[in-house]
């Protein structure tokens, strides 16, 4: 299944591909457009990517970047992004990947936490770094991928020019549990946390994706989610970089996605639910067909059934959308496809049974809800099938901790006698009688009222079936266990305030049909929910609760 030992340096996948398929394109980048709007591309073959990353690894090493250096990488998806990341892995330096979309305040906090040694970025990232003092107490070296801003910040180009083109580089062989990278979570429930990845975590992730989705070398991947793009070379796929702002998937121009798929006969696409929604809506309007696309993988948040329906209508009948469930700390945990979601589980989701995320790929246990740290694993922590509890996972792709966050580590890991551990996902859900897992929302988003617990996804789903509703969010006012349950509603665009009263009444009628929504006290209309930038789908319920409290006071 896997052509490497799990503990090997992740960059070994690239080296092997370069031996096996030297002239196959590894990465293709939309470099420019002619006056008629035709796109022109630049690319690197596997052999060129291998050589380029060796050359960069030599250049960085000569400049003083060392194995173990935490290296912030703020480079847009580009040929350089791929060669630089593989160069860092080969060197044993630790790439720190922070989503620029998380906002300057969060970035500053992430950098303070991570204490980076090296900063490599585009000019804009360096300007922000200098203005905002990012990493000023810890940075030893800075390198720009653009033009030099200061004599103390050399360009990557000058460093690389000092090294021979085909300079060899022997990849660092990681020790057990050595950190390979630090990846930050989205921060939808508090500040973003830096998950520590080992090479084993990455290799296990790659093996799981390969097996689960039967990904074959030679496939062509359009990756609209930068981090996943790095998996393409490891899986033997050609990575086509889309012409879009990767930090704003919900604002993507669908024509640019169609263009890339048609130009290369793309077979696989990674995309956030927000991107799929926008592309599917446009595709429907122009009756677009995407016959080459066999598989779409959409992670990070639930994909609404209407989006699945609209998107699959553009694909060949046997093609599927897969929605793996997981998190920055552990992916994939479960997986389900659009045929099962639309044909079998959608009806139950609309009835408030949660979102089916499919069969577990790794060891998944459901434990009784508890907000406190749990140090040791015991079997009696688990609940019976059908009972909603916290989802806990164990396996080689599960990261063992967060960087510099003792409290979060205590709250999220449970140690087992044999030396292994469970990661607490911070999500709630249950296992059905077929062994499938149903996701019911975030643990922190549950609302407690008079001894009853309301879970976000099961409550919201029944209201989301209303034709005028775009999305809803359950929030709790006050503190547990006696909260006032409020349903915030965002309507489809163009619906005027004069319709609010009648729609509220219709939502009350829906509420009356379900025992699990009875405790909802108030329904409020909000013009536009605050959501995360990365997925453009995760509703910031904490912010909404503050707004709702003001509205009802």
Contact residues for ligand ATP, defined by CB under 6 A: 185-190, 192-193, 299-302, 323, 325-328, 355, 357, 425-427, 439, 442, 538
Output the smallest distance, CB 192 to ligand ATP, in A: 5
Structure tokens belonging to residue 471:
């999305």
Output the smallest distance, CB 196 to ligand ATP, in A: 14
Output the smallest distance, CB 117 to ligand ATP, in A: 24
Output the smallest distance, CB 534 to ligand ATP, in A: 7
Pick the closer one to ligand ATP by CB: 468 or 542: 542
| SS3 state at 332 | strand
- Least Cα distance to 114 among 406, 405, 403, 408 occurs for 403
Output the smallest distance, CB 522 to ligand ATP, in A: 25
Output the smallest distance, CB 537 to ligand ATP, in A: 9
> Alpha-carbon distance 368 to 159, whole Å?
55
> Alpha-carbon distance 306 to 342, whole Å?
9
Pick the closer one to ligand ATP by CB: 241 or 356: 356
Output the smallest distance, CB 299 to ligand ATP, in A: 6
- Residue 49's contacts (CB-CB under 8 Å, 6 or more residues apart) are 14, 18, 26, 27, 82, 83, 86, 233
Pick the closer one to ligand ATP by CB: 160 or 393: 393
> Alpha-carbon distance 553 to 138, whole Å?
46
Output the smallest distance, CB 152 to ligand ATP, in A: 34
Pick the closer one to ligand ATP by CB: 389 or 426: 426
Q: CA angle at residue 442 from 440 to 448, to 5 degrees?
A: 85
Pick the closer one to ligand ATP by CB: 246 or 301: 301
Find the helix or strand (DSSP H, E) in which 18 lies.
Answer: helix 12-20
Bridge partners of 390, per DSSP, are 367, 428
Estimate to the nearest angstrom the gap between the alpha carbon of 300 and the chain centroid. Answer: 5
Q: Is the dihedral of CA 46, 50, 52, 56 positive or negative?
A: positive
Are 99 and 247 spatial neighbours (Cβ–Cβ below 8 Å)? yes
> Alpha-carbon distance 4 to 173, whole Å?
13
Helix count (H) and strand count (E) of the chain? 18, 26
- Residue 191's contacts (CB-CB under 8 Å, 6 or more residues apart) are 106, 109
Pick the closer one to ligand ATP by CB: 60 or 356: 356
Pick the closer one to ligand ATP by CB: 268 or 323: 323
Find the helix or strand (DSSP H, E) in which 234 lies.
Answer: helix 231-234
Pick the closer one to ligand ATP by CB: 159 or 301: 301
Pick the closer one to ligand ATP by CB: 199 or 442: 442
Are 339 and 296 spatial neighbours (Cβ–Cβ below 8 Å)? no
Pick the closer one to ligand ATP by CB: 169 or 529: 529
- Residue 208's contacts (CB-CB under 8 Å, 6 or more residues apart) are 332, 361, 362, 397
> Alpha-carbon distance 336 to 198, whole Å?
26
Pick the closer one to ligand ATP by CB: 533 or 549: 533
Pick the closer one to ligand ATP by CB: 297 or 486: 297
Are 536 and 250 spatial neighbours (Cβ–Cβ below 8 Å)? yes
Output the smallest distance, CB 130 to ligand ATP, in A: 27
Pick the closer one to ligand ATP by CB: 354 or 476: 354
Output the smallest distance, CB 408 to ligand ATP, in A: 9
Output the smallest distance, CB 189 to ligand ATP, in A: 3
- Least Cα distance to 390 among 398, 403, 381, 399 occurs for 381
Mark out the alpha helices in 332-476 (DSSP H runs). 338-340, 346-350, 406-412, 456-464
Structure tokens belonging to residue 499:
């319709």
Output the smallest distance, CB 87 to ligand ATP, in A: 26
Output the smallest distance, CB 104 to ligand ATP, in A: 17
* Strand locations in 303-457 (E): 320-322, 325-327, 330-335, 355-360, 363-367, 389-394, 413-415, 421-431, 436-442, 447-449, 452-454
């Amino acid at each position: 299944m896997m052509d490497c030992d799990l503990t090997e340096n992740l960059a070994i996948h690239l080296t092997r591909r370069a031996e096996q398929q030297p002239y196959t394109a590894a990465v293709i980048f939309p470099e420019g457009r002619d006056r008629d709007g035709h796109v022109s591309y630049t690319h690197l073959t596997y052999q060129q990517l291998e050589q380029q990353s060796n050359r960069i690894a030599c250049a960085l090493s000569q400049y003083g970047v060392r194995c173990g250096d935490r290296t912030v990488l703020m480079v847009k998806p580009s040929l350089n992004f791929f060669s630089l990341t593989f160069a860092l892995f080969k060197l044993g330096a630790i790439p720190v990947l922070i989503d620029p979309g998380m906002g300057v305040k969060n970035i500053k906090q992430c950098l303070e936490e991570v204490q980076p040694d090296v900063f490599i970025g585009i000019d804009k990232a360096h300007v922000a770094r200098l203005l905002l003092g990012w990493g000023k107490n810890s940075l030893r070296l800075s390198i720009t991928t653009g033009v030099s801003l200061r004599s103390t910040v050399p360009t990557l180009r000058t460093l690389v020019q000092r090294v021979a083109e085909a300079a060899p580089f022997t990849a660092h062989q990681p020790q057990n549990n050595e950190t390979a990278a630090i990846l930050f979570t989205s921060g939808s429930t508090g500040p973003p946390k830096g998950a520590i990845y080992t090479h084993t975590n990455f290799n296990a992730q790659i093996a799981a994706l390969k097996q689960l989705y039967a990904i074959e070398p030679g496939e062509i991947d359009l990756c609209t989610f930068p981090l996943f793009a790095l998996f393409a070379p490891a899986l033997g796929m050609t990575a086509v970089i889309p012409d879009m702002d990767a930090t704003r998937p919900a604002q993507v121009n669908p024509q640019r996605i169609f263009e890339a798929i048609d130009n290369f006969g793309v077979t696989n696409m990674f995309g956030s639910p927000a991107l799929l929604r926008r592309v599917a809506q446009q595709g429907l309007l122009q009756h677009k067909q995407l016959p080459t696309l066999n598989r779409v993988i959409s992670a990070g948040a639930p994909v609404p059934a209407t989006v699945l329906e609209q998107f699959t209508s553009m694909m060949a009948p046997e093609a599927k959308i897969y929605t793996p469930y997981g998190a920055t700390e552990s992916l994939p945990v479960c997986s389900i496809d659009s045929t099962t979601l639309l044909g079998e589980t959608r009806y139950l989701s609309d009835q408030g049974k949660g979102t089916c995320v499919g069969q577990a790929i790794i060891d998944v246990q459901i434990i009784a809800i508890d907000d406190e740290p749990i140090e040791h694993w015991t079997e009696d922590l688990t609940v019976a099938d059908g009972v909603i509890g916290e989802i806990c996972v164990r396996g080689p792709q599960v990261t063992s901790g967060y960087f510099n966050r003792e409290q979060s580590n205590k709250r999220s890991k449970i140690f087992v006698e044999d030396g292994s551990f469970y990661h607490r996902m911070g999500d709630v859900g249950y296992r059905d009688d077929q062994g499938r897992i149903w996701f019911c929302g975030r643990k922190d988003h549950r609302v407690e009222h008079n001894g009853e617990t309301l879970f976000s996804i099961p409550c919201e789903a029944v209201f989301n079936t209303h034709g005028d509703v775009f999305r809803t969010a359950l929030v709790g006012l006050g503190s547990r266990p006696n909260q006032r349950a409020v349903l915030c509603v965002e309507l489809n665009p163009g619906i005027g305030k004069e319709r609010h009263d009648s729609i509220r009444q219709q939502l009350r009628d829906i509420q009356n049909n379900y025992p699990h929504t009875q405790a909802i006290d108030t329904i409020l209309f909000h013009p536009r929910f605050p959501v995360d930038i990365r997925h453009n789908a995760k509703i910031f319920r904490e912010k909404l609760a503050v707004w709702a409290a003001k509205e009802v006071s």
